Amino acid sequence: MIRLINLLIGLLVVVLQITLVNLVAIFNVKPDLVIIFVVARALLDGATGGVLWGFGLGLLLDALSGGLMGLGSLAYSLAGFISGRIGADKIPGQPHFFVALLLSSILAHGLFLYFGQPWKEIGLLSPLLKQYLPGVLYTLILGFIWIISPFAPFREGKRRGR
């Protein structure tokens, strides 16, 4: 039952990402709710769970995009794996979440930058400054707000919502 609820939450996050998140976009830069969800699930479920969540939700986003199939699943699988390894053998807390989110965002958004932007023609600096760094920063800020909120699953070294 809990797995089904988590699955529905995952689907809701994807739907929110393509609909309402556009309302909070600043200069076309928006936070990545999906990576926040994948990182949180990976810390709670471990690296294998993180890879599965990342692959599944990434695949769904790939299907919804007109771009290269497999790019989202690759990026979010890696994010889930890294986050799961950071949380391995310890009870994950807020610092683990933040570090995992930072590293995962840098890696996943880096892949999107590499495959999605015409950087070979225009150079790396412009997409890096206009899309990549603001996107990572916006995601970190939203992740930070969520992690200090009462809805976050990590509290003083205790696991919740497994």
From residue 41, how far is each of 33, 49, 82, 87, 149 by CA, in Å? Answer: 12, 7, 12, 10, 17
Looking up tokens 């830069």 gives: 29
Tell the smallest beta-carbon distance from residue 156 to other proteins (Å).
26
Using CA atoms, how far residue 67 sits from 33, 72, 105, in Å, is 19, 10, 19
The pattern of x and - marking residues 97 through 116 that bind other proteins according to CB under 8 A reads ------------x--xx-xx
Binding-residue pattern over the window 62 to 91 for other proteins, x denoting contact by CB under 8 A: xxxxxxxxxxxxxx-xx--x--xx------
The residue from 37, 38, 44, 46 that contacts other proteins (CB under 8 A) is 46
For the CB of residue 143, give the shortest distance to other proteins in the complex, in Å: 15
| Residue 133 binds other proteins (CB under 8 A) | no
Q: Minimum distance from CB of 98 to other proteins (Å)?
A: 20
Q: Residue 140 CB: number of other CB atoms within 10 A?
A: 18
Question: How far apart are the two ends of the chain, measured CA to CA in Å?
Answer: 12
Q: How many angstroms separate the CA atoms of 88 and 130, rounded?
A: 34
Residues that bind other proteins (CB under 8 A): 11-12, 14-20, 22-23, 25, 28, 30, 32, 46-48, 50-52, 54-55, 58-75, 77-78, 81, 84-85, 109, 112-113, 115-119, 121-122, 126-127, 130-131, 135
